[in-house]
Every structure is written in structure tokens, then in C-alpha cells.
A = this chain, B = another copy of it.
Amino acid sequence: MSSADITSNSQTGMIPLQATATNRELCPHNAKISCASCRLNKLCLPIALDNSEIHQLDNIVKRNRPYKKGDHLYRQDDAFESVYVVRSGSIKSYILSDSGKRRVTGFFLPGEIIGMDGIASKIYANSTMALEHSSICEIPFTQLERLSQQLPNLQHHFFAIMGNEIAKDQKIHTLLSSYTAEQRTASFLLGLSTRYGRISLSPTRFLLPMIRIDIGEYLGLTVETMSRVFTALQRKGLIAVNNREIELLDIEALRGIIAAS
């Protein structure tokens, strides 16, 4: 698609973001890539490793064929085998509770690690599904443990990754327990912004890979509320929304919404 195809939207004045220009371009679904050459190696497990260590890690990483939108990496109650790292695309994790209610427990972008909820019980607590065409590295956990035994750096880093997951979950805890719909949404958008920035995508302009229902189920809100909040934030000039396209127009003001007691 050439730039001539880009037309501005009459309602919002936004220039459409194309997947080609963002996720897809940055994320080759190339199974032959190695950890050493992966563009995410400054985010992912190799970050703490030297070259020979990266090579050892590389040997245990399985690079399966890409997942199509809607494909599952694994399902709730499956036996825990591996953790997964997103190389390209995006993944959601969700839980079906006994009462049949669905809850989205997380979204995962390139460089982020999936499946740690199964480590303790040896059974995955979540199902995980590709939100779009996605390439994933699979790391069999037993082998990762064995390698961690040999590489102190890897052990240290994996402890850090898990600690990070714990700290992250506690932030969500706070978010859900005392923030308003608008604060949750602002926080969600700012979080995405940071994460997109980390993988060298625009932190102010991105495509939401998930539908509103998913965001709502993640933030503990209904679709209707999500829709109203997006509209309200747009009306206040803090964001521009056009379907899945989001532009953050006033990051400071978004931060202000969250800080407001």
C-alpha cells in the first residue's frame, strides 16, 4: 500500500493506520530467526545473556508456525509445558469462571512472556488466543529451568521477569479496585502506549489489536461503558478514536485523570 492510499477520516481527521505500517512491518513472521538476530533480544530473555549463553537459549526455543487470529496457544486446564514469548502480533489471555463468566486477564505484545500462571500448579489457569496473525517462541519450561541452573544470568533474569509479572498484577489490582471507568481506560491506554514505545512503535498512535468487549472484560467494565468512555475522552480532546485506531492527543491530561483522587 502506497501513501497515496492513505485518506483522512472525515469524522476525526485521523489518517488511517494500516497494520502494514505498524505491527506487520516490525514483526516478521519468520521462523528461521534466531535469538541472537531477533530484534526483540533487548526485551526478551536474551537481555541478560552473553553470546554463547544466547546460543544455548536458542537451542531450547521452539519456533512453531505462526498462529492465525483466533488460534489458541493453549487452553485453561491444559498441562503446563512451556512459557511463550510473543515475537510478533498480539495475544489475549482469558479465564472462564465456574459460573461461565469470561474474564480477560491480559494482553501480550511482542517481547512479552505468556504462561507463567501455570508454573506453580502445572496446569494453565488461562486460555490464550491470538488476536491477530502472530509469531510465538515456545520455551519448554523444564529445559528453561535446567538451563537456568547452568546460567546464573538466566536464572536471575527469569526471577526478575516473574517479579515483574507480580508487580504488574498488583498495579492492575489497584486499578480495578478503586478507579473509575475513565481512570481505568486512561491507564490502559497509557500502558499500551508505553509498551508500544518499548518495541519502537509510536507511543501516541496505534491500532488496538483487541475488540471493545475484550477491553471491557479486562478492565471490569461493560462494552457500553467502554464505548461511552472512549467517546467522552474524545470529546474532551484527550484522544482521537476511529474504530481500533487510537491517537493519544494529550498524554499529560490522561495522566491527570488517573492521578485525580
Contact = CB atoms under 8 A, between A and B. Distances in A.
Given A145-B159, A260-B99, A220 B169 contact: no
B103 A163 contact: no
A149 B159 CA distance: 12
Contact of A169 (B160, B170, B259): B170
A97 B155 CA distance: 31
A162 interface: yes
Contact of A164 (B97, B120, B177): B120
Residue of A116, A118, A120, A261 with most partner-chain B CB within 10 A = A120
B167 A261 contact: no
A116 B149 contact: no
A170 B261 contact: no
Contacts of A101: 178, 261
A100 B145 contact: no
A200 interface: no
Nearest to A121: B167
A161 B121 CA distance: 10
B160 A125 contact: no
Interface string A200-223: 000000000000000001111000
A81 interface: no
Nearest to A123: B167
Contact of A163 (B116, B156, B260): B116
A105 B217 CA distance: 21
Contacts of A160: 119-120
A165 interface: yes
Contact of A167 (B120, B145, B148, B161): B120
A238 interface: no
Interface of A: 95, 97-101, 103, 105, 116-121, 125-126, 145, 148-149, 152, 155-156, 158-167, 169-170, 172-174, 176-178, 217-220, 258-261
Closest 6 CB pairs of A and B: A119-B163, A177-B220, A169-B169, A120-B164, A120-B163, A176-B176
Given A105-B170, A120-B163, 10 more contacts: A99-B260, A101-B261, A116-B162, A117-B170, A119-B163, A121-B167, A145-B156, A155-B155, A162-B162, A166-B166
